[in-house]
Structure 1
């Protein structure tokens, strides 16, 4: 890093819908090196927002349901303060990821100048049953298509990821719902950004998944992911 360049600040965005049982655990495990934790309460009907505030997080409310809506809300908040080399980490609020691994996730950006790092559950250690069959199969299909159409090698569309603010602005994220993660990856490939994957640990989430835990959610997510891959070619 250039000696004249300011050390990057690290912001964590956590989209959360009815994660009152897990959000406190997630926040508690985030390393102290993080500058600010932003929990986006996505129209929760429980006390997710209250618990997040109690743990010291900045809490934003987004009443339009959708993973992408939540992430965009967090980005809009950060845009008023972030510098180009600051790092944005996206992390789920269900405690399936290991927040302490943020240190590993940002390391390739800090030490090797990568623009984006995807935390791969496929490459890492997974608790038995933490990923359902439809998640594993969907990941394989999506990453195979990305390799075919974009010549970019990924093993996972995992939500645990880090990206510089400059790269995130270049990508110009638009998706409001299930296509968020894959949109970021295919656009990064199209822009020839410097990206990599690292193995991350994964465990059974607290509570039931709103996506893979239901037939409707699985179908809608699968459709949106495939649509996003093809429309960005």
Structure 2
């Protein structure tokens, strides 16, 4: 039988390295989340690139993942020109990034997952910070307990209970969400209603700077779903 029908030692070695890298990357990704239903990783690299610690292209898909209490319905990421500690990985040590990695991604968060995220410190703290900035002179005596989020066409409505532990004073916050450029969100037509009393209404708006590591190409709200497409820099 011709020799070409058998894999060479070199190609077999590279396959082992690719498999080891894929497994290491999956382990690293699983360590970043507390829960994930589906996780797929694909690596495209030549033998020379792999052995030099450079991965020119990686695709990652995950569904129903939980990151620091944030529930993500589906996410697909593509990264290029990744520099990693290949020598340590081949010795069984954790994968580590050596340089900043620009990652292009598509993110979908369904309304039910966004509601599950209300218990996370990241989301609740962010909502509380926005509320304090919207109402600096009418700051609530106690932090609200966020109960529900409703997603509509380019609009978000939040419901919470405010007041002391023994009280259940209803609080409603409603605003339209708009992407300005690629690194700034604008909340417009903001309404804040507490116990049927309007604390804020009219043409009030609020700007949120996403930072230089973020480049959002699309951010859309439809009933029951948030869709985001863009780029983010992942730091080592």
Q: TM-score, normalised by structure 2?
A: 0.25
Structure with higher Rg: it is 2
Q: Which has the higher strand share?
A: 2
Q: Which has the higher helix share?
A: 1
Q: TM-score, normalised by structure 1?
A: 0.25
